[in-house]
Structure 1
Amino acid sequence: MAGNGTVVVTGATGFIGSHALRALAELQGTDGDRPAPRLRALVRTVPDVLPPGTVEWVRGDLTDPASVRGLCEDAAAVVHLASYIGGDEERCEAVNVGGTRALTAEAERAGAARVVHLSTAAVYGAGPHRGIAVDEIEAEPVSAVSRTRLAGEAYARRAGAVVLRPGMVLGAGDRWVVPGLRELVDRVPAEWDGGRASQTVVDAGDLGRLIAAIAVGPSVVPPGTYHAGHPEPVRIGALLAELAAVGVLPPRPDADWPLADCLERLRTTPGRVSERQFALAAEDHWYLADDLWKLAGTSPGPGPLSRLAGVAAWYRGWLREAGGAGSSAGG
């Protein structure tokens, strides 16, 4: 990143955003060839998560044009990680499309050299997907969340962004994936089709490092759309087994049911996670993600399963607080 520029971050207090902000903040005050970035974060409420002076907190809302005006002034990079993943379709449109349009237009006006935009692999819709390159299949979003996030991508690409499509993201702050899996293993107490489904998974801390490298690293990632996961896919059975080994999920059962039987059990057992969300976990959703790490000049790390022991206590605490189960969001 040329000069001691400012990095503007949206979604900085969210799940992935907090990890990315931490990775960017850790570059401040370090020695080396790269200048330490100044950080500016757009937030609705100023948090107390970093030492004073580390971040310039700007109160505002992406859906309010006045909040965005001037936000990217003097910015060398804009990192857009904010999104709305709830059930309000009107707000999905306002945040994921309108907010992205306003922010990326401001980034263009300010002349930001790098723009990073977070989307989701859920834009591809229902699987199974196995070893899919970017846009190898047509995007077919099946929810307002994924539809509007796909629409937001177009504005980001127009601004020359690096668009990221992660699959499952795990780590401290994950209130969707692992809580959703906890509900599913209670409702479908068996191996799901032998646990063979391959998933694109990434640890949130590793994804934060990747985002920081794209935004301010010495390697320039060409604008375009990329899958943002660990290069090695994870089998769902291995993920559930590791979560059980670190005490986040109950021990794995001996039974092994075909998917048809799993779905029948799911239909007869009330819960918040839908059949479609179960299919996201129990069928292949594996997207090729090798190139981005190389282009960004950073290592993907040892893999998400090896990170779980370090975040197990966080998950156990969250599951106790949430009553043992949650709902899977995104898709």
Structure 2
Amino acid sequence: MAGNGEGEGARGAGEDEGVGTVVLTGATGFIGSHALRALLDPDTAGGGRPAVRVRALVRNVPDGERPDRVEWVRGDLTDPASLRGLCEGARAVVHLASYIGGDERRCEAVNVDGTRTLMAEAARAGAGRVVQLSTAAVYGAGPHRGVAVDEIAAEPVSAVSRTRLAGEAYAHRAGAVVLRPGMVLGAGDRWVVPGLRELVERVPAAWDGGRALQTVVAAGDLGRLIAAVAVGPSAVPPGTYHAGHPEPVRVGDLLAALAAVGVLPPRPDADWPLAVCRERLRATPGRVSERQFALAAEDHWYLADELWKRAGVDPGPGPLSRLPGMAEWYRERLGRAGDG
């Protein structure tokens, strides 16, 4: 993998006076791309923010039009040499990159070892603020209803969530604000809505009445929140925070809203208890596991208002209100529900 550490210009060179630098990993990924836009647009995270330049760590510099005030630095979290000097002169380090595939060795190399190296660089460089993206999946199997941070012990059940939890420890040592979102919706989502669509097709019923409460956030709103934590006027104390919209979403309402914009098929009339849903799921093999079904069909609601308040950010109207703006992207990727 590429790891020469060479950017489009010398690190820290050519910065405008009074313009701070934010180091960003994962800038070309799902959540990172939304955070990048928010960092470059002060209006998205509230007033009082200075202009920033972004130093984005990428394995491959993206083709096409490149935003102003972005310095692309070639490197790899698994190559410590490529991270040397990355955080020099940075006012903030925002670590959003992770590996979420099935290769356990790569999970360890990226999510643990890569995070440890990056956080050591951030601490050595004296970065003013550090933000680390984790996941509410570190809590393991639910149901969880109205849970505050540290009210339950983390019990990760996969290599991905186990290694992301391990990465949190290095972030905390660097004085980071660690974010644990639940479901994240928006352009770039390769997991949540595609998984829900498969589940609806395999289990064509209301799952236990669709009453499960979920912590959900639109990727654009999460990007605004990340930008505010990184460079906003209100300094958020280091620690772990849930990063969903403060109002939980009933899974039945989420599926109905996705159906209304043509992303999922209409909600069926049948209402099956979870035991029947699981039997049907086992009888129709697919990519989404029974454990992943439980994440959607049972309560996974985490109290998430504290971070928005501390960051001084309006969370907005909620993810269901954002769905019409996401629908075209989902339809282009998944096809309109019901098309044969």
| TM-score category, normalised to shorter length | over 0.9
Q: Does 1:95 align with 2:133?
A: no
Distance 2:49 2:221 in 1: 20
> In the superposition, relative to structure 1, how do residues 263 and 246 fare at CA in structure 2: closer, same or farther (>3 Å)?
same
Cα displacement (A) at 1:26: 1.5
Cα displacement (A) at 1:54: 2.6
> In the superposition, relative to structure 1, how do residues 37 and 49 fare at CA in structure 2: closer, same or farther (>3 Å)?
farther
Distance 2:210 2:48 in 1: 46
Q: In structure 2, which of residues 204, 216, 228 is the aligned counterpart of residue 213 of structure 1?
A: 228
Of all paired residues, the percent bearing the same amino acid is 83
Q: Does 1:313 align with 2:325?
A: no
> In the superposition, relative to structure 1, how do residues 31 and 278 fare at CA in structure 2: closer, same or farther (>3 Å)?
closer
1:327 corresponds to which residue? none
> In the superposition, relative to structure 1, how do residues 224 and 279 fare at CA in structure 2: closer, same or farther (>3 Å)?
same
Distance 2:106 2:22 in 1: 26
> In the superposition, relative to structure 1, how do residues 145 and 37 fare at CA in structure 2: closer, same or farther (>3 Å)?
same
Q: What are the Cα deviations for residues 180-239 of structure 1, in whole angstroms up to 9, with x where unaligned? A: 000000000000000000000000000000000000000000000000000000000000
Q: What are the Cα deviations for residues 228-286 of structure 1, in whole angstroms up to 9, with x where unaligned? A: 00000000000000000010000110000000000000000111100000000000000
Q: In structure 2, which of residues 313, 316, 326 is the aligned counterpart of residue 298 of structure 1?
A: 313
Distance 1:69 1:169 in 2: 32
Q: Does 1:165 align with 2:180?
A: yes
> In the superposition, relative to structure 1, how do residues 140 and 320 fare at CA in structure 2: closer, same or farther (>3 Å)?
same
Computed over aligned residues only, the root mean square deviation of the Cα atoms, in angstroms, reads: 1.9
Q: In structure 2, which of residues 78, 85, 91 is the aligned counterpart of residue 70 of structure 1?
A: 85
The amino acid across from 1:128 in the alignment is: P
1:9-158 aligned at under 5 Å gives the runs: 9-27=24-42, 33-48=48-63, 51-158=66-173
| Deviating 4+ runs (over 6 angstroms) | none
> In the superposition, relative to structure 1, how do residues 176 and 33 fare at CA in structure 2: closer, same or farther (>3 Å)?
closer
The answer for unaligned runs of 5 or more in structure 2 is: 1-17
Q: TM-score, normalised by structure 1?
A: 0.94
Distance 2:217 2:57 in 1: 25
Cα displacement (A) at 1:52: 5.0
> In the superposition, relative to structure 1, how do residues 128 and 33 fare at CA in structure 2: closer, same or farther (>3 Å)?
closer
Cα displacement (A) at 1:175: 0.9
Distance 2:36 2:29 in 1: 10
Cα displacement (A) at 1:53: 3.6
The amino acid across from 1:97 in the alignment is: V
The amino acid across from 1:113 in the alignment is: G
> In the superposition, relative to structure 1, how do residues 5 and 309 fare at CA in structure 2: closer, same or farther (>3 Å)?
same
Distance 2:322 2:23 in 1: 28
Distance 1:318 1:201 in 2: 21
Contact 2:137–2:161 (8 Å) recurs in 1: yes
Helix, strand or coil at the partner of 1:270:
coil
1:329 corresponds to which residue? none
The alignment covers a number of residue pairs equal to: 321
Helix, strand or coil at the partner of 2:245:
coil
Distance 2:207 2:48 in 1: 49
1:243-254 aligned at under 5 Å gives the runs: 243-254=258-269
Cα displacement (A) at 1:35: 1.9
Helix, strand or coil at the partner of 1:77:
strand
Q: In structure 2, which of residues 206, 212, 215 is the aligned counterpart of residue 200 of structure 1?
A: 215
> In the superposition, relative to structure 1, how do residues 151 and 49 fare at CA in structure 2: closer, same or farther (>3 Å)?
farther
